[in-house]
Structure 1
Amino acid sequence: MFAQNHSDHSDQGPGETPTSLPPAQHVNETSTDKNTENLSKNPDIKPLSTTSRSWRFALAALGFVILCFGQIFNTNDWFPLGSLSQYSYGRPLDSPTRSVRIIAVNTEGNDIRVPLNAKGVGVGRAEVEGQLDAIIADPSKLEGLARAWHGLHPESPQFTHLTMERVTSYVKDGKPTGQSDVEFLAEWTVQGNYGETQ
């Protein structure tokens, strides 16, 4: 067997490609032609009808309109097609930073900062800031935070009064200066008697 193989290729010069093997390009073209032929013969593969194309186009157009609406009116009500204001964006190094905080008075008479996260009241700061205008217009929406705190921490002192503030911190060359301003935004006296259920 080995002798036969040697004699089959003994008449080829160094570096020559065996004539029995077709070039790689020829093999690829042949394979492509066969695939195209198989697809054309498959009766299950049909082009989209005019109706199918129309409703797909209408759905894409509707999504685009909702996305534009969310950007123009700065709302996250139709997430993820809203303004996505919870995401960070670049700012100049000397530009002040602003954040919202909520201070609660609890049933023990202590002032505490409401933890705006999933473990604290079930929502994050971004969700609260995204509804800032609505909360200022209707402070009773803060009642939901007191209710959520009670649901997650029934054994802890409960909220009796909530105050929302905006803190503006000043920076220079990207570093805090230590100066800040506090702006009152809204307040709400909790209506539910959550402390009585402990």
Structure 2
Amino acid sequence: MQDRPTERPPAGGLGRFGIVLRLTVTAVFLGILLTAQLGRHDDWFPLGMLGQYGVARDPDGVVLDTYLVGRFADGRIERIEMRADTVGMTRVEMEVALPELEQDPSRLALLEATYEAQHPGTDLAALEIRQQVHRLRDGAQHGPVEDRLVLAWTGETG
């Protein structure tokens, strides 16, 4: 009797399980990336808003970090996360809308109302838009970080 060679899959080929696993992992990753993009999740780095990488920075320029500070009626002062589900606006949207907000600071009342609706029992007396200014030299931070007040708004309770 002659021995028949045993059939083996070609070297380097994937079996059915390997193909299904790769397709599943790819689908999950693309789903997360799409959710982060469409949901505008800035805090999902590096999967969040990829538009932040679309423009080159001047290696001898400045980087601005815009943030929101709430002053509460009970005297507390806290940094407030700028997200659509917290104040109705993301940091990027805030930076784009900043010229209009400076023209009419009363527009910040909408942020106050949204925050208070999302956090029952809180009473915001005032909001401040602030920026940390990071100066660059040769692409690296140079000098101390400057913190500056951009806009202040006091609500009816303040």
**Partner residue of 1:149?**
115
> Which one has the largest radius of gyration?
1
Aligned to 1:131, what secondary structure does the other structure show? helix
Deviation, structure 1 residue 171: 2.8
Matches within 5 A, 1:24-103: 87-88=51-52, 89-103=55-69
Aligned residue pairs: how many?
A: 107
Deviation, structure 1 residue 102: 1.9
**Partner residue of 1:122?**
88
- In the alignment, structure 2 segments of 5+ residues that lack a partner are 1-49
Match 2:134 to one of 169, 174, 178: 169
> What CA distance in whole angstroms lies between the structure 2 residues aligned with 1:131 and 1:153?
24
- In the alignment, structure 1 segments of 5+ residues that lack a partner are 1-85, 194-198
> Percent identity at matched positions?
22
**Partner residue of 1:108?**
74
Deviation, structure 1 residue 115: 0.9
> What CA distance in whole angstroms lies between the structure 1 residues aligned with 2:156 and 2:96?
24
Residue 149 of structure 1 contacts residue 158 of structure 1 at CA under 8 Å; is this kept in 2?
Answer: no
> What CA distance in whole angstroms lies between the structure 1 residues aligned with 2:99 and 2:70?
20
> What CA distance in whole angstroms lies between the structure 1 residues aligned with 2:105 and 2:125?
14
Residue 82 of structure 2 contacts residue 89 of structure 2 at CA under 8 Å; is this kept in 1?
Answer: yes
- Alignment TM-score, normalising by the size of structure 2: 0.59
Residue 62 of structure 2 contacts residue 133 of structure 2 at CA under 8 Å; is this kept in 1?
Answer: yes
Higher-strand-fraction structure: 2
Aligned to 2:133, what secondary structure does the other structure show? strand
